[in-house]
């Protein structure tokens, strides 16, 4: 069985297909198109989580502030 797959060769053939099947494990992969992604949470969302948990959870402090990042297209399975 093949253990390496160069998915970048798909972009040489035109628009990316909406789904592909991995030749390594047979998993169906779905295209997530490029675009803006909001990473993290706002201070208001953090405050709401703290109220629901009835404590300030340090796990979420690294998620502040929410910020917009630009992602390239990728496949997800």
Domain boundaries, the chain: 17-76
Q: What is the DSSP string of 4-24?
A: ---GGGGGGGSSPPSEEE-TT
| Residue 67: per-residue pLDDT | 95
What does the pLDDT look like over 23-61, one tens digit per residue?
A: 889 999 999 999 999 999 999 999 999 999 888 888 888
- pLDDT for the residue 2: 54
Coil/strand/helix, residue 71: strand
Predicted structure pTM score: 0.64
| DSSP 8-state class, residue 25 | T
Q: Which is more confidently placed, 8 or 38?
A: 38
3-class DSSP assignment, residue 29? strand
């Amino acid at each position: 069985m093949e253990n390496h797959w160069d998915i970048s060769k798909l972009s040489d053939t035109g628009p990316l297909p909406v789904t592909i099947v991995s030749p390594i494990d047979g998993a169906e992969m779905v295209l997530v198109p490029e675009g803006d992604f909001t990473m993290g949470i706002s201070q208001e969302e953090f405050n709401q989580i703290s109220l629901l948990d009835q404590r300030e959870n340090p796990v979420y402090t690294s998620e502040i502030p929410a910020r917009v990042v630009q992602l390239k297209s990728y496949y997800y399975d």
